[in-house]
Chain A
Amino acid sequence: MTKKKRHHPDVEEILSRPWCYYCERDFDDLKILINHQKAKHFKCEKCGRRLNTAGGLSVHMSQVHKENLTAVDNALPNRAGLDIEIFGMEGIPEDIVQQHAQRVLAAYHQTQAERQAAGAKPAAGGHGPNAPKKPKLESVSELKKRLAEHKAAKLAAEQENGGSSRGDTPNPPASGQNQPQTTSAASPTYPGYQQTYTAPSTNGSYSQPPSFTQAPAPAATPYQAASNFPTAGSPPVVGYAQASTPQPGVPVYGQIPTVAYPPQPYAQPPQPSFQHQQPPMGYPSQPSFSPPYQPTYPGQSYHGQAAAPRPFGTVSPAPGFPQQSPPMHLAQGVHSPVGNGSFPAPVRTGSVSLPSAPGLPQRPAFGAPPVNAFQFQQMHQGQIPPPPAHNVVHQNRPHEASPSATAQQPPPTILPTNSSADDGQNASSLDDLIASASKHADANAAAAAAAAAPSEPQSQPTASAPAKEDATEEKSEKKDKEKPKTTRLVYSDNETSPEEKMAMMPKYAFTPAQKTIMV
């Protein structure tokens, strides 16, 4: 944790860095900045003497070399003036300080967003070491309080309808179990639930709560592992082993997890989508039971449900719930993986930049392609206008067609594949956007893109379109990584030189007829 922090200094640190008024470079400390200014901006061209300020240099130049200094060397175009006396960080006008701060902030946020996006990329393929998952820690007293509530609610539920509560409750325990897949925390909680099921009303079972309350603490670290989970089969197993150890008092459980939770179920749930989709489904089904529990592991506990039921059924004595939960799990399984698998959760890339909701664990980062702020904004506005650069870039005519073509394309390609239509549509349009944007952005890819572009319109109505799209998309995404910026050519006609254009202007026109007459 601390190490990570080192790598990515926080805003204050960045903002407090001294920077050079003339070239906007920032430095580790003031001494270096001053040295930089002396060497780069206040150095005399003639004799190499380093002065302290621009004014000093100006005086030196006029006295020693009889020359007038008109501009500060190596300065940004609008900063080369001699009228402002700068020394280190002193003398910088307030408005420029603010501009700089703003720029730094913007850059900071961008890099952070990029980092999040980039850090998540591996998560899709393996693990997300950079994924900023923070464990939710709760104080013991809080947990105890919650446990008490939970117990009360449970009791109440049982008293109200002992039978039916079982029907509903399977979900929570399932989630409890499933959690182990993501975290060891889950397994400790599980016992708590188990009590409610196997021995519903016995008070003896409550003696176990300690395990429940304590669990979250060790759980904290495993929680982070959650992000690793979906692809790697083994980590969860390890998690189990750990999970079972902290509860020496519950030997049965310790064994159950290892036996009952083979890695496969874990691999199934694509977590991100679950978190978003689950809550609405889950809440109604577990009114009596879950509330106290949820706060502890919101979101994650849910998606846990999906995978858990099956293994749980094999172990648990409760006959009702293997039957009940599987359908749910299936439904979810069908639902989310589609949305998730085919499109690497691009819709939620937007959420990366959003603050995470207070009650939820930090939003997972996705393997989303890096999208710049402007594109984000456009996507959030729901329209897919081609980035401004497209309008300006004329030299590749075929490209201009592509944004519009791709904008139309998504719906037909998506509808058949995805039930969650808007999910998919957003995703694909986003991808298209990126693809087209990066196409334009990348000058090097221009030739390749030009080749690809003409084929797009043709393939538009056919089924091969998506595949083709994907190919170009992948290609451009790769390129995108290197050059996330869009570019705008000031002179974009690749066929006709500026001189030829000027020659065509009426005022320069030369009519050869006139010439032939002369000859």
Chain B
Amino acid sequence: MSSQFAVSEVPADAISALRFSPHPNSLRFAVASWDKNVYLYELADGKVCTQLAKFEHRAPVLDVCFGKDDNEIYTACLDWDVRRIDVATGTQTVLSTHDNGVRSVVYSKEHSLVVSAAWDSTVHIHPGGEAEWSTATINLPFKPFSLAVSSSKLVVAMANRALHIYELKTLASECKSSANSLQNRLDIEPWQRRESSLKFMTRAVDCMPNDEGYASSSIEGRVAVEWFDPSNESQARKYAFKCHRQHVDDVDVVYPVNAIAFHPIHGTFATGGGDGVVAIWDAIAKRRIRIYPKLAASVAAVSFSSSGKYLATAISPGFEDGKDELVEGMIGIFIRELAENEVKRKTK
């Protein structure tokens, strides 16, 4: 039986993002909150979780990700800025400024790129580490809602069910080559343009660790699993399923699926819904592996540790579960130690 414990020090306001460090053997995770702070936690022995640092911003922070190592984190803030934070010194560097709130930020270690997406319908691509070139901007047709990177691809999920897939390699080379052009507008065609297989607003997207595809979720309790490979064979494999629903008096109450996270080793993925439930799925076998007891509020974020041994779940009330009143105890971060085969694909 897996054990789950709640982190004691939690943000004062709703949690917007939670991400475990992707670096091997790291048990750190960062949490972005609407209370304008980014928190850094470290898990010790799987039982104790301590808050290492807190980085204050001018506005609510909507997303956070780790950079090239645990000392570097990037934040997407509602004050339109994308920042790099040096954990050791606590210094914040503004990488670029969008024309609206920044929704997501991701880091590709393979190509050393920081990609941010903002509600001004642009994606900014920043060089990770030392700047050999300045930030490049890609215009999007719609507002982006979620970003995800795999080792070779960048997936941008937007409003109107649009979805663009970029090849990071192309992006990196384009950025370098157009480094000195004016305004740094990149007129780059996405590698693929897709329409979401879900009929409703895309909520979250994450890429498979094996770089073969991605899963996206919508506000209408559904998750789609798709493959990058444009061949008909691969495209025929894509599917979608319903989840995070509750049957109440003949009415199917449908919750948004707020978070998706792939397990770094097993390739299964977790979804967190507005119903406060986290479920583990096997994308290949199309099976649900596990469903965890309902939590007190909507699940805002889920993340697996790099070792795959821990699953962190952040809950906070919000529009997702129909409540907008903040109640004590509704915000929480739960760490679940996963048993050996708990989220492993069943071999049968």
Q: Which residues of the other chain, A, contact B272 by a CB distance below 8 angstroms?
A: none
Tell me the bound Cα distance from A493 to B219 in angstroms. Answer: 9
Segment among B55-63, B124-132, B179-187, B261-269 that sits at the interface with chain A: B55-63
Q: A431: CB under 8 A from chain B?
A: no
Q: A417: CB under 8 A from chain B?
A: no
Q: B253: CB under 8 A from chain A?
A: yes
Q: B24: CB under 8 A from chain A?
A: no
Q: Which residues of the other chain, A, contact B4 by a CB distance below 8 angstroms?
A: 70
Q: Which residues of the other chain, A, contact B251 by a CB distance below 8 angstroms?
A: 388-389, 485-488
Q: Which residues of the other chain, B, contact A75 by a CB distance below 8 angstroms?
A: 293
Q: B254: CB under 8 A from chain A?
A: yes
Q: Are A491 and B274 in contact (CB under 8 A)?
A: yes
State whether A487 and B254 are in contact (beta carbons under 8 Å apart), knowing that A510-B58, A515-B79 are contacts in the complex.
yes
Tell me the bound Cα distance from A67 to B337 in angstroms. Answer: 12
Segment among A25-33, A209-217, A252-260, A497-505 that sits at the interface with chain B: A497-505
Cβ proximity bits A465-503 to B, threshold 8 Å, 1 near / 0 not:
000000000000000000001111111111101111111
Segment among A132-140, A177-185, A326-334, A441-449 that sits at the interface with chain B: A441-449
B window 178-220: CB within 8 A of A: 199-201, 203, 219-220
B: number of interface residues (CB 8 Å)? 52
Q: B159: CB under 8 A from chain A?
A: yes
State whether A44 and B1 are in contact (beta carbons under 8 Å apart), knowing that A372-B250, A486-B252 are contacts in the complex.
yes
Q: Which residues of the other chain, A, contact B59 by a CB distance below 8 angstroms?
A: 508, 510
A: number of interface residues (CB 8 Å)? 50
Q: A71: CB under 8 A from chain B?
A: yes
Q: What is the minimal beta-carbon distance from B285 to any residue of chain A, in angstroms?
A: 17
Tell me the bound Cα distance from A80 to B294 in angstroms. Answer: 10
Tell me the bound Cα distance from A69 to B4 in angstroms. Answer: 10
Tell me the bound Cα distance from A487 to B253 in angstroms. Answer: 6
Residues of B that sit less than 8 Å from A by CB:
1-4, 14, 16, 34, 58-60, 62, 78-80, 97, 101, 103, 119, 143, 145, 159, 199-201, 203, 219-220, 222, 245, 247, 250-256, 258, 274-275, 277, 290-291, 293-294, 318-322, 339, 342
Q: Given contacts A494-B201, A501-B319, A510-B78, list 18 more A-B pairs with CB under 8 A.
A: A44-B1, A67-B1, A67-B3, A70-B3, A70-B4, A74-B291, A372-B250, A488-B251, A489-B220, A490-B322, A491-B256, A494-B219, A499-B16, A499-B103, A502-B14, A508-B78, A512-B80, A515-B79
Enumerate 18 A-B pairs (CB-CB under 8 Å) in ascending A order: A45-B2, A45-B342, A46-B1, A69-B1, A71-B293, A388-B251, A395-B200, A443-B222, A486-B251, A487-B252, A489-B219, A490-B275, A490-B320, A491-B322, A493-B201, A494-B219, A498-B318, A498-B319
